[in-house]
Each structure stands twice: as structure tokens, then as C-alpha cells.
DNA sequence: ATCAACCTTGACATCATGTCAGGGTCAAGA
DNA sequence: TCTTGACCCTGACATGATGTCAAGGTTGAT
């Protein structure tokens, strides 16, 4: 299967398929006589694994770890679970941080009349000195 | 005030102070005879504005807009509020996306025994074809 | 005079991804 | 057979916000 087809069936752009190869997430595929990459069903499955992991917010580095475990028949499920739960915690922290920003911003905006006068507590709030 | 002092009192790194100047968020400061940047209290206040806005997750581009409004005595508070609320919505969307990832990941991890056997629904889940 | 702590500019690195340039290849229709 | 359009190749530059390093000039205190 050519790279275009692999891209279509996995939703991974050709650019990123080549990138994953370069950084070692994907093994160098077979090449046809003309130099075109030729992907096996196994490679496509691996691409899908990467795409799914990206959709769950894993970094390429974390995905390298997951692929290593996937490839390793001696892995223990606890190793996998550890990586997954650590990432879930990370996601939770990041979501909470964004929510905290949102809440602080809404607090500021609450006092803003939003009419055509220039006075605005949002701007004055942003200009104030804040702890750290 | 030298850049080091400005950095200390605002918490903005020297690197970023120079960067904000380069991209036009900060006006070019006065220079001493030796070429050192010399910051006025007004400049320091502007730096603090930027730092606070960054803490609320505004991009430098959004901050440019906010600074433009801050500088403009003819602004209306509704212009400011519009920018702020749009960003709050953005933050909410991003937080929700992270939470959705987290929840999907925890769903996967729930079925994983986390012991020393190799079977792991997290890995098989990641390998499955998913609607994208 | 020396030394540490400043300051200067410039360049390279990060991370995941897009896009473009300048080519080669292939298949189908005229 | 020639052309056309859809593929494919590599390499390079861009993004955003930030860090870090290099190589040099300045200042202030001993």
C-alpha cells in the first residue's frame, strides 16, 4: 500500500507518516523499485495505534514507550497502566489549569459593563501587580 | 531600570522581555550610553500586563489586541469584553477536550488488570480502528 | 588589575505539524 | 506516442513561546 492510501485509511497525514518514520516510531517500510514506500497491514495497524494515542493526547515520546510495550511480549499490564494513568493525571492537571484560567478571567469580566464606555475592569485587572 | 531588574520585578524572563520588544508588544526602550535597555515604570507596568495576560492563557497575538485597546482611550469596554469572553470560551473548549481525552483513557484503563500478565485492553484498544 | 555579575546580539533547540519547491513516476485518454 | 493529472520523493522553512548557549562588552567592588 502506497503512502497516500495508508494516509487515507488511518487519517494520518503523509507528512506525519514520514515524520514517524524519521523519529523511529515507524520502522522503515519496504520500498518499491521506484522508491515508493510500501506499507504492510501491520504497519497500517501501527499507524492507527499512533493516531489513537495522539487522539488521547499522548506525546510522541510517550507513544514510543507504549509502542515498546506493545512490541514486548514480556510486558506486564501494570507497566502499561502506569503510563496510561500518569498521562490521565497529566490531562487532569492541564484541564484544571485551563479551567482555573477561565474562572479567573470570567471573574474579571463579570465586573465589565460591556457597553460603549471606555472604563473596563478587565484591562485594569490585567495591569495590576499580582502575586508571582 | 536595567532589564535584569525589570525581569525580577515582573517575573518575565530577560529573554521574553527582548522577545516582546522584537515582536512589537513592547516599545523599544531608551538605551543608556553603554547600550543597556532602560525601562520606565510605565514599561514595567506594560510588562506586568503582558505577564498577567499570559497567565490567563492569552496568546501574544491576543495580547497585542488587548494592549491596543489598553492604549486606546476611545475604546469601548464591550470591545474588551468580547475579546475576553471569546478567550474564556476557547479555554472552556480546550479544557473540555482534555477532559474528554482523560475520560476516554480512564475508560480504557478501567479494564486493565494492572498486574504482571501481558494482556492489556489499553494496548488492544489503542490498536483498534476508531472512527475519526 | 582582576573578577563576578551584569548587559548585548545572534543562533540553535524544543514539539507536532503544515506547506512549498523542485523534482521523479505512473496510468489513462487523445 | 504524447500529454495530463495524480501520485510519490527529499529537503527546507514556518509556526508559538520559551530556553539555552556562545562570544563579547560594561560595571562595580575588591
User: Exposed/middle/buried for A58, CB within 10 Å: 0-12, 13-18, 19+?
Assistant: buried
A42 to chain B, any CB pair closer than 8 A? The answer is no
Is residue A96 located within the same domain as residue A115? yes
Is residue A100 located within the same domain as residue A123? yes
Q: How confident is the model at residue B130 (pLDDT cuts 50, 70, 90)?
A: confident
Closest Cβ–Cβ partner in B56, B77, B91 for A120: B77
Is residue A71 located within the same domain as residue A85? no
Final residue belonging to a domain, choices A75, A92, A115: A75
Cα of A51 vs its chain's centroid, Å? 9
Is residue A69 located within the same domain as residue A119? no
C-alpha A89/C-alpha B4 separation (Å) is 36
Decide if B71 is inside a domain: yes
C-alpha A64/C-alpha A97 separation (Å) is 26
Contact of A10 with B130, CB cutoff 8 Å: no
3-state secondary structure chain A: CCHHHHHHHHCCCHHHHHHHHHCCCCCCCEECCCCCEECCHHHHHHHHHHHHHHHCCCCHHHHHHHHHHHHCCCCCHHHHHHHHHHHHHHHHHHHHHHHHHHHHHHHHHHCCCCCCCCCCHHHHHHHCCCCC
Report the domain count for chain B.
1
Rounded to the nearest integer, the mean pLDDT of chain A is 96
Decide if B12 is inside a domain: yes
> B45-74: per-residue pLDDT in tens?
999 999 999 999 999 999 999 999 999 999
**Residue A29 is placed in which grid cell?**
517500510
Is residue A65 located within the same domain as residue A89? no
Site from A25, A66, A123 to mutate, B interface, most B CB atoms within 10 angstroms: A123
Is residue A51 located within the same domain as residue A107? no
Decide if B132 is inside a domain: no
**Residue B5 is placed in which grid cell?**
531588574
Chain D: nucleotides below 7 Å from protein CB are 7-10, 12, 16-21, 26-27
> A21-44: per-residue pLDDT in tens?
999 999 999 999 999 999 999 999
pLDDT at residue A132, rounded to an integer: 63
Chain C: nucleotides below 7 Å from protein CB are 6-9, 11, 15-20, 24-26
3-state secondary structure chain B: CCHHHHHHHHCCCHHHHHHHHHCCCCCCCEECCCCCEECCHHHHHHHHHHHHHHHCCCCHHHHHHHHHHHHCCCCCHHHHHHHHHHHHHHHHHHHHHHHHHHHHHHHHHHCCCCCCCCCCHHHHHHHCCCCC
Is residue A48 located within the same domain as residue A113? no
CATH code for the domain of B86: 1.10.1660.10
pLDDT at residue A131, rounded to an integer: 77
Decide if B85 is inside a domain: yes
pLDDT at residue B110, rounded to an integer: 96
Indicate if the pLDDT at residue B132 is higher than 90. Answer: no
Is residue A3 located within the same domain as residue A42? yes
Is residue A57 located within the same domain as residue A113? no
> B83-128: per-residue pLDDT in tens?
999 999 999 999 999 999 999 999 999 999 999 999 999 999 999 9
Indicate if the pLDDT at residue B131 is higher than 90. Answer: no
- Segment A59-72 shows an average pLDDT of 97
Residue numbers of the domain that contains A48: 1-75
Amino acid at each position: 500500500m502506497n503512502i497516500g492510501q495508508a494516509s487515507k485509511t488511518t487519517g494520518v497525514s503523509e507528512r506525519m507518516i514520514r515524520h514517524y518514520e524519521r523519529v523511529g516510531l515507524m520502522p522503515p517500510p519496504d520500498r518499491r523499485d521506484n522508491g515508493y514506500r510500501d506499507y504492510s497491514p501491520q504497519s497500517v495497524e501501527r499507524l492507527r495505534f499512533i493516531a489513537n494515542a495522539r487522539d488521547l493526547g499522548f506525546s510522541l515520546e510517550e507513544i514510543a514507550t507504549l509502542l515498546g510495550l506493545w512490541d514486548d511480549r514480556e510486558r506486564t499490564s501494570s507497566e502499561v497502566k502506569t503510563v496510561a494513568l500518569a498521562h490521565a493525571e497529566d490531562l487532569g492537571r492541564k484541564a484544571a489549569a485551563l479551567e482555573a484560567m477561565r474562572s479567573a478571567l470570567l471573574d474579571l469580566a463579570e465586573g465589565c459593563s460591556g457597553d460603549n464606555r471606555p472604563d473596563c475592569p478587565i484591562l485594569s485587572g490585567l495591569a495590576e501587580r499580582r502575586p508571582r
